[in-house]
Amino acid sequence: MRFFELRSSFTTCVFLSGLVCAPVFHGSFAWADCIDTARRTPTRTTITRLPPFPAIPCDLSMLGEEEIRQLTFQVVDHKLSTYPTTRSAGRRVAKFRSTGLFASFEPSQEEVAKVARQYDLIMLVAARSHLVPVMKQYNPSLKVLMYFDSGLTPQASLIDAGSVDEQNTEWLVTYHPEWLLKDGWGNPIKGESYWPDPGNQEWQAFFAEKLNRALELTGDVWDGVLLDQFLGFHNSHRDYAGTELQVNYGNDSEFQAAQLSFLQGVSSMVSVPIVPNVEGLSIVTTPSFFSQAVEVSGGAEAEVFVMEAASSAGYSPPENIKRYIEVALNAPKDKLILLNSPTAGIAGDVDWTLYAYFTYLLVAAPDRQVYWTFKEGISAIPHYWYREFDLDLGLPLEGVKVIGDLWNRAFENADVVVNPTVNWRSYAFRGIYYDVLGRRLRSPLKVAPHSGLLLVKKTSILQ
């Protein structure tokens, strides 16, 4: 049986060119906002053909609850229609993971089966803990992380330390204000959340106690915890969450030291690995902070790998991407490194997604726990599956090579080339290569800006 909560009212959308209504997920579920679902025609050579996005009426105010529910599952099943019937993990070098899957609705058994077979790692909210053993029936090697927040937002159950039991956020603010970050007037800083003082050892012990309790209440079925909003600067709460400036820590170094102290202290008291979602800008400006977070915990998540937003204006500059690649390659092989790319709206974008995917291939390896995903509009709905994901590239033969402004990596059955710049570049090669359509390539190749391509050595992998 499918189930989800429905908001009591809807926002009536206006018909615009290329715009339809799309789902907005919070603690409950509603189709509310008109977002752009127009899809660009791919300009790169690809073996992926995404099916046309289903027509969805923009004015939903007259629809009933059951009709809106069916619209939701129409989109979910539409995306899942692109998933292979068999699992390709045994032959592929890439490792795929999800972000916030099924957060606001209950999937069907068939949907769970399709997702579980293809992903290597999945993140779920605590309310979906009953799906974990089901998913592992379809894929015993699957890792599943429980979502948990660094802040204190009491609106939902089991999503942070203030929503586990009766010692909730209100109790914390009343009886332990000394555990919270303060502004210049001595008041707790607050946006949508209160923000605890990460360096306070009593808070660390309390947080670990509540996290362990949440794991216990959900059946101890998890392989780890994704700790969201692990901020990296002393002014991040003001800039990111709209609070007053906290004064507990006067500079970035002091605040980062407190964050690492929190992560190290809590990791030693919690029964499963913790993987913090580290603020993306800190990876670029202070990569040592990200690397230290990896060292003292179970790994780390990097949120804006390759693209900072799902638009042509959101391409990350090469020097930023290079930092992400470096911290991923320098991480111990047993640590979880999660790379995310916001590549498209809900209707998908082949060019953007393949650019991010080919860049990820520069660091993917069977012996590394480096996972990649892309955000297609809404995290709760699965993304499309691209046929390039399943190609058997073979084992990597070498690390990343820099050839002028291009990045290259050789695998047994293909080479990957990435152009992270804003200009067309030329790539010269020796030997016999084919594109993903099986056509013989001639040197030199013209590589488009912000793109990647595969140079196939064995056309048998294309069959």
**pLDDT average, residue stretch 171-181:** 97
Residue 423 three-state SS: coil
CA 336 to chain CA centroid, Å, is 13
323/340 Cα distance (integer angstroms)? 14
Measured from the Cβ of residue 120, the count of other Cβ atoms closer than 10 Å reads 19
Pairing of strands 224-230, 299-302: unpaired
Residue 36: the pLDDT is 62
The CATH code belonging to domain 401-462 is 2.60.40.1180
Residue spans of the domains in the chain: they are 66-390, 401-462
Task: Give 416's contacts (C-beta < 8 A, 6+ positions apart).
Answer: 358, 361, 362, 393, 408, 409, 452, 453, 454, 455
Higher-confidence position of 309 and 48 = 48
CATH topology for 66-390 is TIM Barrel (3.20.20)
| Nearest CA-CA partner of 193 in 155, 236, 246, 222 | 155
Q: At what angle do helices 201-217 and 252-267 cross, to 10 degrees?
A: 40
Q: For the residues of 323-379, what is the DSSP string, one character each?
A: HHHHHHHHS-TTSEEEEEEEEE-TT--HHHHHHHHHHHTTT--TTS-EEEEEEES-T
Confidence band for 428, pLDDT divided at 50, 70 and 90: very high
pTM for the predicted model, two decimal places:
0.91
What are the tokens at 350? 């082949």
**pLDDT average, residue stretch 343-356:** 93
Convert the pLDDT of each residue in 89-145 to its tens digit: 888 999 999 999 998 889 999 999 999 999 999 999 999 999 999 999 999 999 999
Convert the pLDDT of each residue in 386-409 to its tens digit: 999 999 999 999 999 999 999 999
Task: Give 297's contacts (C-beta < 8 A, 6+ positions apart).
Answer: 263, 264, 267, 273, 274, 275, 276
How many helices (H) and strands (E) are present in the chain, helices listed first? 11, 15
Convert the pLDDT of each residue in 235-289 to its tens digit: 999 998 899 999 999 999 999 999 999 999 999 999 999 999 999 889 999 999 9
What are the tokens at 38? 């127009």
Measured from the Cβ of residue 411, the count of other Cβ atoms closer than 10 Å reads 22
Residue 34: the pLDDT is 55
195/237 Cα distance (integer angstroms)? 8
**pLDDT average, residue stretch 343-353:** 91
CA 254 to chain CA centroid, Å, is 28
CA 6 to chain CA centroid, Å, is 25
Task: Give 421's contacts (C-beta < 8 A, 6+ positions apart).
Answer: 318, 405, 449, 450
